[in-house]
Amino acid sequence: MTAKKIQKRLFGTNGVRGIAGKDLTPELVFTIGTALGHLRKGRIAVGRDTRTSGETLGKALKAGLLATGCTVYDCGILPTPALQYKVRQGYDGGAMITASHNPPEYNGVKIIEPDGTEMGDEETLQLEELIFGPVLPVTPWDRVGQEIQVPDSTERYIEGILRHFPGSPGRGMTVVADPGSGPACITTPKILEGLGCRVLTVNGVMDGTFPGRLPEPSAEGLRNLADLVRACGASFGVAHDGDADRAVFVDENGQFIEENAEFAIVAQNICRQKKGLVVTPVSSGQVIEETVRNEGCTIRYTPVGSIYVARTMRTLIANGEPVIFGGEGNGGLIFPDHQFCRDGGMTAAMMVSLLATSRKTLSELARELPERHIIKDKIAATKGAEILASLPLQFPGCRIDLTDGVKIFSKDAWALVRASGTEPIIRIIIDASSPEAGRALYQDLISRLKTIAG
Ligand code: MG
């Protein structure tokens, strides 16, 4: 059972994204606001990340919602998962102005459903129909909406996370947080302090120009975090992307923990406490499946994209299946006991609790994981979809999975080949038990792709 992917016109896997003022104009965001107002009506919670274009675009979005008679609850600057937590407390929907991990000039809109999940494909298609259809009518003067400011919009979110970790598990632990000048400046240090940790920060002041590092928390961008972790003897460092739905880590030596390894470490801890299903996209590293299986649990795969993971988790639970954990291999982890979306603050808290109970360092936990070797590449291809359609025929003896793109399993490795929806390229991931097995499958795959492309 997996959700099937639908290609959309404006919205990608996680909302609309574009360069502010160029692709993503205030006019377009106003139209998105009116369309959302028509579709959802009622009480809509609105938030934004720290980008410089956020205030303008947020006002355009709110104008669209108000013009269609919605009551707007302005939550100000906050992490996406904090807005998702808020929306679940009795709103008819939400909208977040954010471009997540994209560079500072970008911005975007993520639409939140009343249950706190990101909007799924079918609802997004309805929304796009309204956006691209005839100009939407606005309400007359006596029925325009009202805007209400929500003070302390992150308070219950922080409390909601702390409730999962009683007894100050972080007591005696030093942690360095790098919110990357994003909205987690006002949440993650408080969460860590609430757990009893001593907290230091890097890039801990909100700033939409992102002076310290880019919103994508890459290993290169986290050198200051790594240096401070080593200098102060911290147990780990945690960094977020631009809207803090993802969290990545450096260990006590300042070494970056690859995100699939991060997932595996957290999954191992959860699987030792309860048995059940772990849900992740087909693109996630094999280290996750092997770790989950070693702990006597089962993995379920979905198409690539956090909404497919979140929706699949919800559906499985509705069918009585014991779903214990889920997420993506990019630091976007979903804790079903907390909420059905990626949550960077919750992930940071989980790391504190996990280290407190395991009595091992983060570098030790990473070293104990099954060893895997990943190759990522992209190749130019104008007819990606056609090439992918004939690719399985090139591997007649292999098990093939078509959940998203083409996943080919050989003895010691697998390859995932996907055509980009927006660019003329094919993306390749190879995941192998040894560097040799990875290279062999990679070369075999490239030669067969060339044969197909002629
Ligand atoms: Mg994000």
> What's the start-to-end Cα distance of the chain, in Å?
35
Q: What is the DSSP letter of 15?
A: B
CA distance 21 to 147: 24
Would you state the pLDDT for residue 12?
79
Contacts of residue 48, Cβ cutoff 8 Å, sequence gap at least 6: 54, 55, 57, 58, 76, 77, 96, 97, 98
CB-count exposure of residue 134 (10 Å: 0-12, 13-18, 19+):
exposed
User: So what's the pLDDT on residue 1?
Assistant: 44
Average confidence (pLDDT) over 9-14:
79
Residue 331 CA to ligand 1 center (angstroms) comes to 9
> CB within 5 A of ion ligand 1: which residues?
100, 241, 243, 245
Ligand 1 center to 272 CA (angstroms) = 28
How many residues are there in the chain? Answer: 454
pLDDT, position 7: 72
Q: What pLDDT shows up at residue 4?
A: 61
Among 247-261, 276-290, 411-425, the range scoring the smallest mean pLDDT is 411-425
With CA atoms as reference, report the closest residue to 115 among 243, 246, 307, 302.
307
Whether residue 3 is predicted with pLDDT greater than 70 in this model: the reply is: no
Residue 249's identity, in one-letter code, is F
In angstroms, how far is CA 93 from the centroid of its own chain? 19
Specify the pLDDT at position 15: 81
Percentage of the residues of the chain whose pLDDT score is greater than 70: 99
Confidence tier at 102 by pLDDT (50, 70, 90): very high
Q: Residue 248: what residue type?
A: V
Does the annotation mark 218 as catalytic? no
Max mean pLDDT among 122-131, 320-329, 377-386, 415-424 falls in 320-329
Question: pLDDT: is 395 or 422 the higher one?
Answer: 395
| Triad 363, 166, 252: Cα angle to 5° | 15
The Å distance, Cα 107 to ligand 1 centre, comes to 12
**Mean pLDDT, rounded, of the chain:** 95
- Neighbouring-strand partners of residue 428: 377, 417
**Residue 314: Cβ-neighbour burial (10 angstroms; 0-12, 13-18, 19+):** middle
- Which DSSP symbol is given to 20? B
**Mean pLDDT on 283-312:** 97
Q: Which two tokens stand for residue 347?
A: 């992930």
Q: What is the mean pLDDT of residues 122-146?
A: 94
Rounded distance from Cα 314 to ligand 1 centre (Å)? 20
The pLDDT value recorded for residue 9 is 81
Q: Say how many Å lie between the CA of residue 389 and the centre of ligand 1.
A: 31
pLDDT, position 11: 82
What does the DSSP assignment read for 53-111? THHHHHHHHHHHHHHTTPEEEEEEE--HHHHHHHHTTT-SEEEEE--TTS-TTEEEEEE
Confidence of residue 421 (pLDDT cuts 50, 70, 90): confident
Centre of ligand 1 from the C-alpha of residue 376, in Å: 21
Compute how many other C-beta atoms are within 10 angstroms of the C-beta atom of residue 411: 10
What is the mean pLDDT of the segment spanning 203-231? 97
Give tens-digit pLDDT for 328-386.
999 999 999 999 999 999 999 999 999 999 999 999 999 999 999 999 999 998 888 89
**What is the pLDDT at residue 89?**
94
pLDDT of residue 2: 46
Kindly give the distance from the C-alpha atom of residue 139 to the centroid of ligand 1, in angstroms, as a whole number: 34
Report the pLDDT value the prediction gives residue 382, as an integer from 0 to 100: 86
Asked if residue 65 lies in contact with residue 46, where contact means CB atoms within 8 angstroms, the answer is yes
Out of 100, 153, 181, 284, pick the active-site residue.
Answer: 100
Tens-digit pLDDT profile for residues 172-181: 999 999 999 9
Looking at 67-71, 76-80, 129-133, 226-230, which range is the least confident one? Answer: 129-133
The CA radius of gyration of the chain, in Å to the nearest whole number, is 22
